[in-house]
Amino acid sequence: MNVLTAARAQMEVSLAFHMVFAAVGIAMPILMLVAEDRAIRTGDPGARALSRRMARVTALLFAVGAVSGTALSFELSLLWPGFMRVAGPAIGPAFALEGDAFFLEAIFLGLYLYGHKKLSPRAHWWTGVPVAVSGLLSGAFVVAVNAWMQCPPEGTGVTAEGLVSPSPWAPFLSPAWVNMAVHSTLACTASVGFAVAGVAAAALRRGDTRPHHPHALRIGMGMAAVSALAQLVSGDFIAKMVARTQPVKLAAMEAHFETARGAAVVLGGVVDSAEGRVHHAVTVPKVLSVLAFGDPAAEVRGLNSFDRALWPNVNIVHIAFDVMVGCGSVMALVALVWGWFSWRGRGSGAALPRWVLSCIVWASPLGFVALEAGWIVTEAGRQPWVIQGLLRTRDAVTREPSAALTFWGFSLLYLGLGVAVVLLLRWFGRAEVSDHHGDAATEGELRDGHA
């Protein structure tokens, strides 16, 4: 394994792992606040139990995310000194703001976890608001850095002396930032919403009577449905932005080799880059032109109109794009089905047909699959550039031959963290079942005593 391959593999593993915890940090506090607000307004013990369970999960995954995020910050300096030398002055402010948001989130998460017995219910709820807001801001600040790498603002350049930037706030001037921030935030809320709803739906389907499950299903699917449907609109904005700013990536996403007007969208298939063909694919005429430019007769440049040295790995990008779109489409369909039953007053667990619960269970991991696939499209589609049009990945990587050792070392770290998270979540689940049975036994004893 050469240095470049090892460095890229390490970043891929690190980001794939950290992304899950980042998504939870963005979305779970919102669900936590909704559940607690419902408990305060209605006095429902199931909603109160749900908010506390979500607080525990948020705290655990926040701690693991902090570890994996810290590891990522070290990796940037260890593996990509050429990138940090050039990009450091531009991305520093965004990372500093992300750090501020992280510390604010940590402080108020502590207040939220340990203040429920010392604060009034509404005051306790308000301590959770900065947790949710900080999570959203943290994600937006990190995405600003990536948006700058994908699409540097006009006037950005690299010289022998270093970076030429139009502003110290350059990441926030990238034309890609707002679209990417909205798209990634919706991906996080859809993923976590479906995951929460899927756990609840599985419990209800097997007859689990704990009162927090119907609340989890309704709140989780509410967030998931809004996010999944809004993601369709956001995806359209992203496609048109990529068509303007990264035409090579767009061509790779669609495995579009020949420049054409009324270009067809390509669904599935096996890409043969050597021949410039896609075998066994389904094509729909003119749809790509509409998606890219809103005009069925618009011209869409194909890969063959670009220097082959600027092509990303077309097969990986195209497959990842199809996986992302496929998962998102299924999620949107399930969201519509649940929305129909919810509109008819049957959105809670007890009123939903068993087959709808099964659909939610099967769709529950698709958000995270789409999230990972989407970032593969984003990052692999930018290659061979680490900063689009300015700095190639091969020129940004370290020359230190021990990069392969750090790859295995950090991979073992993430493996250990992953095992620990699974074991702790399983322990949380068993403890909650025991608590529920204990509470039920106590209530039964009290009833017998009164009788």
**65-84 pLDDT per residue, tens:** 888 888 888 888 888 988 88
SS3 content of the chain, % helix, strand, coil (to 5): 75, 5, 20
Top-confidence residue, 445 or 246: 246
Give me the chain's average pLDDT, please: 87
- pLDDT for the residue numbered 189: 95
Instruction: Provide mean pLDDT across the span 227-247.
Output: 93
pLDDT tens digit string along 32-57?
A: 999 999 999 988 888 898 998 899 88
Is the predicted pLDDT of residue 429 greater than 90, yes or no? no
- The pair of three-digit structure tokens given for residue 168, joined into one six-digit string: 């110290």
Preceding amide of 175 cis, omega within 30: no
**What would the pLDDT profile of 126-177 be if each residue is shown by its tens digit?**
999 999 999 999 999 999 999 999 999 888 888 777 778 777 788 899 999 9
Residue type, 106: A
Query: Residue 434: pLDDT above 70?
Result: no
- Residues 92-110 pLDDT 10s: 889 899 989 999 999 999 9
What is the per-residue DSSP string for 313-356?
-HHHHHHHHHHHHHHHHHHHHHHHHHHHHHHTT--STTTS-HHH
Share of the chain above pLDDT 70, in %: 94
Choose among 30, 15, 173: nearest CA to 94: 173
* pLDDT bracket for residue 432 (50, 70, 90): low
> Contacts by 431-438 with C-beta closer than 8 Å and gap 24+?
432/53, 432/210, 433/210, 436/210
Asked if 48 contacts 36 with a C-beta cutoff of 8 angstroms, the reply is yes
Q: What do you get for the CA distance between the two ends of the chain, in Å?
A: 74
Burial 128-158 (b: 16+ CB within 10 A, else e): bebbbbbbbbbbbbbbbbbbbbbbbbeebeb
Identify the CA nearest to 221 among candidates 133, 341, 129. 341
Categorize the per-residue pLDDT at 289 as very low, low, confident or very high, splitting at 50, 70 and 90: very high
pLDDT exceeds cutoff 70 at 442: no
Which alpha helices (H) appear in 344-402, and where do they start and end?
354-363, 366-380, 393-396
Residue 201, pLDDT above cutoff 60: yes
- Is residue 320's pLDDT more than 80? yes
Residue 447 has pLDDT above 50, yes or no: no
pLDDT value for 85: 87
- Position 22: which residue type? A
User: Where is pLDDT greater, at 405 or 433?
Assistant: 405
Residue with tokens 């097997």: 206
Name the E strands within 121-276: 157-159, 162-164, 260-261, 265-267, 270-272
pLDDT of residue 437: 47
The bridge status of strand 299-300 relative to strand 385-387 is unpaired
The rounded distance, in Å, linking the Cα atoms of 179 and 174 is 10
pLDDT at position 127, please? 93
Q: What is the mean pLDDT of residues 253-270?
A: 90
More confidently predicted of 49 and 436:
49
**pLDDT on residue 155:** 82
Q: For the chain, what is the largest distance between any 2 Cα atoms, rounded to a whole number of angstroms?
A: 87
Lookup: tokens for 286: 């003119």
Lowest average pLDDT, out of 41-45, 122-126, 399-403, goes to 399-403
Identify the pLDDT of residue 440: 45
Query: Which residues, other chains included, contact 180 with Cβ-Cβ below 8 Å and sequence gap of 6+?
Result: 143, 146, 147, 150, 238
Full DSSP string of 27-83: HHHHHHHHHHHHHHHH--HHHHHHHHHHHHHHHHHHHHHHHHHHHHHHHHHHH-HHH
Average pLDDT value for residue range 328-342: 92
Average pLDDT, stretch 344-353? 72
Q: To which H or E segment does residue 387 belong?
A: strand 385-387
Q: What is the spatial distance between Cα 143 and Cα 183, in angstroms, rounded to a whole number?
A: 10
Give residue 348's pLDDT.
65
**What's the pLDDT score for residue 187?**
95
Residue 27 pLDDT level (bands cut at 50, 70, 90): very high
For strands 162-164 and 157-159, give the pairing: antiparallel
Q: Is pLDDT at 418 greater than 60 in this prediction?
A: yes
Beta-carbon contacts of residue 46 (< 8 Å; ≥ 6 apart): 210, 211, 212, 213, 214, 215
What does each C-alpha distance from 264 to 59, 68, 97, 233, 368 come to in angstroms?
47, 41, 42, 20, 28
Q: Which letter does DSSP use for residue 263 in this model?
A: P
Asked if the model's pLDDT at residue 421 lies above 90, the reply is no
pTM over 0.85: yes
